[in-house]
């Protein structure tokens, strides 16, 4: 149940696969003899804050269902690597608890809630806890059809049906982790309210009539760096910047919302063109390797957010698992940048369009190669 909640997507999971497959269609046309001396510089800015890595963990709901350390483990791992931390408003750890273990730059993610007073109150709590940036998720005004969840009987917290008990016996490590701890709750609201009761409240608060005018009101309430998360259309990205958002977060919710949405990496170049070079872009969706991070930055992203990779780490080993996942991605990104011939993140951004290209539909689309094929006796190079 918990595995499929993390692993799955909407409907036939076409977008879920498309997100990853799109990266495999992007080639790296590396330079040689670039004269680079290690170590490379992976530092950059995310939402105005200095960080040591150009990637960080997406805000994801209910981390304590994967491992009892939950959001605290993920935050401590972010602190270890000196990167941004982002907390979901549906977290199972409170704002102040995160602030106590992670003093670095933090993003608070918010859904489009119906009750403005609730929104205003939670924003004040986030500011009080030291969260410097906001991410408004705008692609969950309707819930996607995630078919694995009802098939598995997914509930928060788990029900005690025969099926669930059999599955729990088959996963003794997870089950012991779950039953030996206090029941988790949605801590950003009222952690004294059981998770199942809060679920009904949350479902009643998600609203599809949230508009651009509401977004303007929200920006006024927050009055700080803010990203709009869930954008895939260039005109929406441009409007977001005009409305006052400092950052466009290109995302299709990991393929968990509207089925057959485009892969985020495919729409990234058009969104960069629409918002210009000065606007900040964050991208998520399909990131599983450090090479994916390099490709995203080269094609126009200022930073990359990863979801499932760090959650797999969390489920496997808590804080240590997340730190290991970040270390793997860091090493892969470092290697990719070195082989490309780009010693800094700024170099990767600047030279990226010439180094990273969409794979042609056929080899005949390589005119620079085939222009010289007569020199080889007319053979195909």
pLDDT values of the chain reduced to their tens digit, one per residue, 381 residues: 888 889 899 899 999 999 999 999 999 999 999 999 999 999 999 999 999 999 999 999 989 989 999 999 999 999 999 999 999 999 999 999 999 999 999 999 998 777 788 889 999 999 999 999 999 999 987 788 888 888 888 876 677 788 888 888 998 998 888 888 888 777 887 655 555 554 566 666 667 778 899 999 999 999 999 999 999 999 999 999 999 999 999 999 998 989 999 999 999 999 999 999 999 999 999 999 999 999 999 999 999 999 999 999 999 999 999 999 999 999 999 999 999 999 999 999 999 999 999 988 765 555 554 444 434 333 333
Burial of residue 306 (number of CB atoms within 10 Å: 0-12, 13-18, 19+): buried
CATH number, domain of 358, equals 3.20.20.70
Residue 379 falls inside a structural domain: no
Residue 200 falls inside a structural domain: yes
CB 203 within 8 A of CB 176: no
Which of 139, 158, 137, 140 lies closest to 149 in space, CA to CA?
A: 158
Radius of gyration of the chain (CA): 22
**Length of the chain (residues):** 381
Q: Is 45 helix (H, G, I), strand (E, B) or coil?
A: strand
Residue 348 falls inside a structural domain: yes
Residue 381 falls inside a structural domain: no
Q: Look up 253 and say whether it is catalytic.
A: yes
Residue 143: domain span? 2-370
CA distance 101 to 93: 12
Predicted pLDDT at 193: 56
Cα distances from 259 to residues 10, 17, 263, 268, 297, in angstroms, run: 6, 11, 11, 18, 25
Residue 81 falls inside a structural domain: yes
Q: What is the pLDDT of residues 56-82, one digit of tens each?
A: 999 999 899 899 999 999 999 999 999
3-state helix, strand, coil in the chain (%, to 5): 50, 15, 40
Count structural domains, the chain.
Answer: 1
Burial of residue 352 (number of CB atoms within 10 Å: 0-12, 13-18, 19+): buried
Predicted pLDDT at 360: 83
CB 102 within 8 A of CB 75: yes
Q: Can you state the angle between helices 290-298 and 345-355, rounded to 10 degrees?
A: 80
Which is the catalytic residue, given 29, 67, 253, 372? 253
Q: What is the pLDDT of residues 207-223, one digit of tens each?
A: 777 889 999 999 999 99
Residue 199 falls inside a structural domain: yes
CA distance 194 to 186: 8
Residue 378 falls inside a structural domain: no
Predicted pLDDT at 354: 94
CB 247 within 8 A of CB 228: yes
Residue 108 falls inside a structural domain: yes
CA distance 327 to 1: 28
- Alpha helices in 158-289, H assignment, sequence order: 162-170, 172-179, 195-205, 212-222, 234-243, 264-275
pTM comes to 0.89
φ, ψ of residue 136 in degrees (nearest 5): -95, 115
14: enclosing H helix or E strand: helix 14-24
Predicted pLDDT at 336: 97
Predicted pLDDT at 258: 92
Burial of residue 107 (number of CB atoms within 10 Å: 0-12, 13-18, 19+): buried
Predicted pLDDT at 162: 85
């Amino acid at each position: 149940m918990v595995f499929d909640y993390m692993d799955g997507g909407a409907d036939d999971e076409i977008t879920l696969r498309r997100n990853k497959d799109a990266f495999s269609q992007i080639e790296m046309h590396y330079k040689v003899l670039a004269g680079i001396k290690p170590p490379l510089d992976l530092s950059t800015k995310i939402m105005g804050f200095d960080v040591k890595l150009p990637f960080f963990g997406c805000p994801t709901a209910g981390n304590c269902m994967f491992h009892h350390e939950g959001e605290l483990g993920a935050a401590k791992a972010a602190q270890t690597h000196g990167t941004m931390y982002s907390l979901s408003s549906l977290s199972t750890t409170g704002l102040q608890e995160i602030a106590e273990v992670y003093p670095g730059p933090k993003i608070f993610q918010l859904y489009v809630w119906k009750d403005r007073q609730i929104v205003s109150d939670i924003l004040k709590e986030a500011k009080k806890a030291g969260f410097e940036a906001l991410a408004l998720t705008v692609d969950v005004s309707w819930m996607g059809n995630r078919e694995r969840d009802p098939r598995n009987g997914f509930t928060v917290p788990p029900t005690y049906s025969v099926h669930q008990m059999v599955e729990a016996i088959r996963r003794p490590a997870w089950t012991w982790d779950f039953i030996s701890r206090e029941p988790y709750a949605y801590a950003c609201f009222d952690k004294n309210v059981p998770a199942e009761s809060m679920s009904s409240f949350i479902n009643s608060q998600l609203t599809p009539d949230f508009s651009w005018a509401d977004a303007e009101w929200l920006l006024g309430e927050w009055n700080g760096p803010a990203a709009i998360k869930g954008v895939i259309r260039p005109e929406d990205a441009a409007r977001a910047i005009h409305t006052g958002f400092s950052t466009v977060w290109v995302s299709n919710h990991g393929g968990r919302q509207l089925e057959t949405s485009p892969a985020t990496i495919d729409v990234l170049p058009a969104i960069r063109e629409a918002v210009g070079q000065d606007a900040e872009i964050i991208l998520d969706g399909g990131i599983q390797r450090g090479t994916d991070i390099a490709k995203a930055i080269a094609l126009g992203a200022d930073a990359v957010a990863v979801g499932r990779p760090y959650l797999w780490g969390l489920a496997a080993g808590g804080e240590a698992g997340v730190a290991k996942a970040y270390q793997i991605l860091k090493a892969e990104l470092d290697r990719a940048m070195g082989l490309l011939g780009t010693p800094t993140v700024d170099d990767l951004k600047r030279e990226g369009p010439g180094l990273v290209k969409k794979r042609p539909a056929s080899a005949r689309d390589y005119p620079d190669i085939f222009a010289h094929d007569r020199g080889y006796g007319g053979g195909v190079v």
